[in-house]
Amino acid sequence: MTLQHSEDEELVAGFKEPKSKESAFTSIVKKYQERIYWQIRRLVINHEDANDVMQNVFIKAWNGLDNFRAESQLFTWLYRIAVNESLSYLDQQKKRSNISIDDSGLHLEEKLHSEKDFDSNKAVWKLQLAIQQLPEKQRIVFNLRYFEEMGYEEMSKILETSVGALKASYHHAVKKIEDYILNH
C-alpha cells in the first residue's frame, strides 16, 4: 500500500467520523483541488466555468464520500466525478446555445481565443487549439495521458472503458494534434 493510499484511507475514515468530518474534507479538497481544477479547465477552457464545475465536483464528493468503498483510489473516484461533471457542463452549454455536436469544438476554440493571454503563435496555445479540435472522448483521453501522465489502467477505471480503446483513442488524438499543428 502506498503512502498516498494510506493517507487517503485516513482522510476518508476521518470524514466518516462526525467530529473530524469537516477537517478531513478540507484536507481532501486541499490535497486534490489543483489537479482536479486543471483537468476540468482543460475540458471546459474558461476559468470561471472551471471553478463552477469544481464546486459541483466537491459538493458531489461531500454528498457521496460516506458511501465511498475504496474500490478505487480516492483520486480516481474524484477524477471520475470531475470528468462526468465537466461533460455534463459541456452538454448543458451545447443545449443552451443550440450548438451541434459538430460545432462544439469550434465553440471551445472561441472560448480559448477569448482568454486574456491567448497568443496563437505560442506553442502552448497551438497545442490547446489542436486539442479543442478533437472529439470529446479523445480530448479527455489525451488530457489525462499527456498532462496528468495517467496510466491506461487508471484511466480505464475513471472512464469505464477498456485499455485497448483508450490506447486507440490516444493514438488517434496524437495523430490529429500533429496534423493540426503541422498545418496551422
Do 137 and 180 reside in the same domain of the chain? yes
Do 177 and 125 reside in the same domain of the chain? yes
Burial class (CB in 10 A: 0-12, 13-18, 19+), 111: middle
Do 164 and 124 reside in the same domain of the chain? yes
pLDDT in tens, 57-86: 999 999 999 999 888 889 989 999 999 999
Residue 42 grid cell: 482543460
- Per-residue pLDDT band for 4 (boundaries 50, 70, 90) equals low
Do 82 and 4 reside in the same domain of the chain? yes
Which pTM value belongs to this model?
A: 0.74
Last residue in a domain, options 67, 98, 129: 98
Interatomic CA distance for residues 148 and 144, integer angstroms = 5
Do 105 and 156 reside in the same domain of the chain? yes
Q: What is the DSSP letter of 182?
A: H
Do 88 and 113 reside in the same domain of the chain? no
Last residue in a domain, options 98, 114, 135: 98
Amino acid at 170: Y
pLDDT in tens, 23-33: 999 999 999 99
- Per-residue pLDDT band for 2 (boundaries 50, 70, 90) equals low
Do 17 and 53 reside in the same domain of the chain? yes
Do 94 and 147 reside in the same domain of the chain? no
Interatomic CA distance for residues 97 and 107, integer angstroms = 10
In CATH, what number is assigned to the domain containing residue 115? Answer: 1.10.10.10
- DSSP, collapsed to helix, strand or coil, labels residue 34 as helix
Do 93 and 106 reside in the same domain of the chain? no
Do 14 and 92 reside in the same domain of the chain? yes
Do 87 and 117 reside in the same domain of the chain? no
Indicate the helix (H) or strand (E) that contains 114.
Answer: helix 104-114
Measured CA distances, 101 to 90, 95, 105, 146 (Å): 11, 10, 8, 24
pLDDT in tens, 82-113: 999 998 998 888 777 665 544 445 555 565 55
87 versus 166: which is more confidently predicted?
166
- Per-residue pLDDT band for 171 (boundaries 50, 70, 90) equals very high
Average pLDDT of the chain?
A: 84
Interatomic CA distance for residues 166 and 156, integer angstroms = 7
Amino acid at 8: D
Q: What is the DSSP letter of 67?
A: G
pLDDT in tens, 111-137: 555 555 555 556 676 788 888 889 988
Interatomic CA distance for residues 139 and 42, integer angstroms = 9
Last residue in a domain, options 63, 83, 98: 98
pLDDT score at 116:
53
Domain count, the chain: 2
Query: What are the backbone dihedrals phi and psi of residue 45, each rounded to the nearest 5 degrees, phi first?
Result: 75, -55
Do 162 and 93 reside in the same domain of the chain? no
In CATH, what number is assigned to the domain containing residue 25? Answer: 1.10.1740.10
Domain with 137, as residue range(s), is 100-184
Q: Contact at 8 Å (CB) between 176 and 134?
A: yes
